């Protein structure tokens, strides 16, 4: 394990000490390990810029569809045809990969 020394302002030091006492940590080291681990998990779960852009585009497309439904522009859906096409597209992506 690597040792890291930090200096905290008094206000944060008091907060850490109080949190250690009230939240069941054995010591400040355990508290900081927990905090840094949680932050690491958050960073690793963030979407990449490309994934974020895809999500935003999908949200816009969904909104367009909702607006079309609100205007009564929806048509009948052939679910068998839709799923058959999805299966064909999936099989093609698997073949190319």
Spell out the domain ranges in the chain: 10-45, 49-96
pLDDT along the chain (97 residues), means of 10: 89 95 95 94 84 90 91 87 93 86
Of 47, 50, 52, 16, which Cα lies nearest the Cα of 34?
Answer: 16
Instruction: Give the separation between CA 15 and CA 23, rounded to whole angstroms.
Output: 11
pLDDT at position 29? 94
Instruction: Give the separation between CA 79 and CA 3, rounded to whole angstroms.
Output: 60
pLDDT at position 3? 87
pLDDT at position 64? 92
For 30, other C-beta atoms within 10 Å of its C-beta total 13
């Amino acid at each position: 394990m690597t040792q890291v020394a930090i200096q905290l302002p008094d206000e944060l030091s008091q907060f850490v000490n109080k949190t250690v006492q009230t939240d069941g940590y054995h010591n400040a080291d355990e508290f900081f390990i927990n905090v840094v681990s949680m932050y690491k998990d958050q960073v690793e779960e963030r979407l990449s810029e490309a994934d974020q852009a895809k999500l935003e585009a999908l949200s816009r497309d969904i909104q367009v569809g909702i607006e079309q439904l609100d205007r009564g522009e929806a048509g009948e859906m052939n679910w068998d045809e839709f799923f058959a096409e999805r299966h064909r597209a999936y099989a093609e992506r698997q073949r190319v990969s």
